[in-house]
Structure 1
């Protein structure tokens, strides 16, 4: 197993990603909250300014001259603003006014006649420019209130309230540079605090990630050790019940499954090597004997025709045994690595098909079949192989003309299908019955018979895959009786009460 590098070039570590995402999240939250607060503050300040302007305009409407109105509003206590210190880049019109008339006054009062033309004003009225259509309309109708921004050119430095009077309208304007200065300072403060908050959150996120991911680092180190040492017996210590603990538990289970599979693979290879050694040795000896006889033909030392025919028959038999053994080994390996999917089926149909094939392979054996419907979810190929192996085993041990009884029934509880195959052979001794389903196991009486010892092992494997049980016993005639129990599905209820069929 080749280890991948911990970090790919150009990618951040998990610590860095957690810290970065935390900083971005905090920055976003701070930005949303701060900008919302700044906007609400701006709105409230301008609402207060508008209320003050309307109150001032009502007061100015009762004065006779702009100066009287200004005196009534105590404007003399308001300091002037020096724009030369506050703004460096002014529009040309604003720069001209600043050079000619000085800085804009904090408050301007201006009276309009019925046509909206200024007739009198306090100093600095040039900063307001000419009256706009809404104030002109108010002066003409002598009714209504208007709030608007004003200033030279596109520069809006005043907030203006226009209120109707008996002779036209009066305008009161207040300078907004102070408000805008406060808002700019507040915006800078918000940005500064947001930056510091994001920086602090990144540091905190790094620490949280380092602490929270420490178990994951331990798990990663353990996995890397297993990959490096190939030691499948390693067990990772599980602490707690969080996601990391669940991952460690799943890894331990995977290690157990891999260790079991590796042990089974090694056992299969060892058993196969042991079982193949004997037929291969016998096959090689017979081939060498035939080869030696051919080389001695010129000297007159030849094998008798009967001996030669016997050797050839032995070679054919040994080749067939090797072919069967290889096929069964392949079947076992396929069951382990590429399992067949489960599909709905009737086990009775599978048994019928296997019996048809067994009758063709064993014409000298009588197969007496009694079958009931058994609906289940299973592997058609695996179940067919399992039933045929049971039938081949029974036929192999039965005498010529013997009867193999095949019965498929539903258990009294209705939850399992029971397949029984009984023969009239010598039977299986009690000490051997628990072992007949093991790989390559052959009883002492069976070692003179052809076979690999894998047929019943395949039966046990298929049965275990379907959640069933297999056991060996004695038949009424004294032969062997092999029983397989498999769970049926809920669809089996439709066949309850129907009689079994015989053939």
Structure 2
């Protein structure tokens, strides 16, 4: 049962919720003010009634002998005082010491046990509520100042109660009107306040239907809704950039795959033609056939490597291995051993200092293998590829790989980490132009950066900077 109101509330629209909240707030304020006003008026009226009774009772009690034969026509001492004309005033009566009625108004008052005690001098003033002729009266009994006995004065509460009831009805009507107006005001305020949200919703729905990411959401003002619109526009721009990047990747991948696939198809068709028509075998001697098969094997290997690199590059976030604290010296040693086996003609040297980063060891090793492969590919036989590892003054791990190759032209340096980019001097060599792009992506996913520059006297230097343990979250991107 407790969850039913919560479920009902959650099923309401934001417009309904705002309307209900505004109505509830105004209703609470109106009811609170009305309650305070009613209590204040009731208290004031009660005090006035008590004051009137006290004044009348004290006046009679001060000179009871003047009242024993009836009220003085001109007030005590012969003064003209209409307040003592009791034909229209409250009921009153004077009691003797024994509690008998000595004098009083036409309509007598009941002599209660408490009143007898006051008349006998055994109790102070007494205030009571009595029912006379079907009406509620407030009766006050006070001791007489001279001669003993007591004085009783009573006033009918019905007019005061009727006035208070009318006031209560007016307050209730005002509350109903106020709450109704608050409900209407709440709906109006909610409708006006949600106009920007509705506009934002329509704009986002339009983007979802048309996939038109180039149409930004209109923004008006500088409030929270405007900030939300700016965030949506930023998100749309990021999605558009990602889609453009994906389209470029697919187009470039198709272009890069077309060349090896065409070559493989041509070679296979030639082999099939010779296989189907033996009389053409003399056109493909055994040594040429063996060379053709070796070319096919190399092309298939190149195609497989290209496909692997494409998959690696297209994956924006890996989930195959968890991030952990990684000792980079172990990563450098493992990557160097792998490349050294593949390229025995190049000498690999290292100068490593302990350095721990938080990342995915497999990705970090593949990143370094790509850098070392690229350095070894450009180094001449007998060349040297040197790797240095340490922590710079800013608290970042600094990994530097230098080779002794011909180096990279200055105009090509800004593009070496672009996808499929190959410098003019590299277009005749094996490779896809994706290796360094994967390096840049992996470094960015680990919160780091990568740069390339010339190495003195010859060659190229690739510098990778990664945050040491605790300074970044891998996968968060560069900061």
Equivalent residue, structure 2, for 1:494: none
Q: Which whole-Å deviations, capped at 9, do the CAs of 1:283-315 have from their partners, x for residues lacking one?
A: 333444444444446x79596554554444334
TM-score, normalised on structure 2? 0.78
- Partner residue of 2:92 out of 109, 112, 116: 109
Equivalent pairs counted in the alignment come to: 449
Q: 1:470–1:482: 8 Å Cα contact kept in structure 2?
A: yes
Deviations 1:35-72 (CA, angstroms, capped at 9, x unpaired): 10110111111112112222222334443567836987
Structure 2 unpaired stretches of 5+? 1-8, 76-82, 472-479
After TM superposition, give the deviation of residue 349 of structure 1 in Å: 4.9
Task: Report if aligned partners of 1:142, 1:167 keep a CA contact under 8 Å in 2.
Answer: no
- Alignment check: 8 A CA contact 1:368 1:405 kept: yes
Q: CA 1:431 to 1:180, structure 2 compared with 1: closer, same or farther past 3 Å?
A: same
**C-alpha displacement of 1:272:** 1.2
CA pair 426-315 structure 1, distance change in 2 beyond 3 A: same
1:358 counterpart residue number:
339
Contact 2:325/2:358 (<8 A) preserved: yes
Q: Deviations over 1:159-198 (max 9, x none)?
A: 1222234655443221111111111111122222233333
> Alpha-carbon deviations, 1:94-152, whole Å to 9, x = none?
xxxxxxxxxxxx733355676778787645557x6x736x5455455533122232227
Q: CA deviation at 1:405?
A: 0.7
In the alignment, what sits opposite 2:70?
68
- Give the drift of 1:433: 3.0
Residues 53 and 154 in structure 2, CA contact (< 8 A), matched pair in contact too: yes
Change (3 A) 1:313 1:143: same
Quick one: structure 1 residues 55 and 398, their matched pair in 2 at CA, closer, same or farther if it must change by over 3 Å? Answer: same
Q: Which shifted more, 360-369 or 69-78? A: 69-78
The separation in 2 between residues aligned to 1:59 and 1:195, in whole angstroms, is 46
Contact 1:60 1:70 in 2 (8 A): no
SS at match of 2:432: coil
Q: Residues of 1 paired with 2:99 and 2:306: CA distance?
A: 114
Q: Structure 1 168/307 Cα, relative in aligned 2: closer, same or farther at 3 Å?
A: farther
Look up the match of 1:98: none
Give the equivalent residue in structure 2 for 1:438. 418
Counterpart of 2:474?
A: none
Deviations 1:213-233 (A, max 9, x none): 444444333333323322111
Structure 1 77/310 Cα, relative in aligned 2: closer, same or farther at 3 Å?
farther
Q: Deviations over 1:238-285 (max 9, x none)?
A: 443222222222222222211111111111111111112222233333
Under a length normalisation based on structure 1, what TM-score does the superposition of the two structures give? 0.75
Q: Which runs of 5+ in 1 are unaligned?
A: 1-7, 79-105, 492-503
Pairing of 1:133-172 with structure 2 (within 5 A): 134-135=114-115, 137-139=117-119, 141-151=121-131, 157-165=136-144, 169-172=150-153
Q: How does 1:391-410 map to 2 (within 5 A)?
A: 391-410=372-391
2:70 is paired with a residue of what secondary structure? Answer: helix
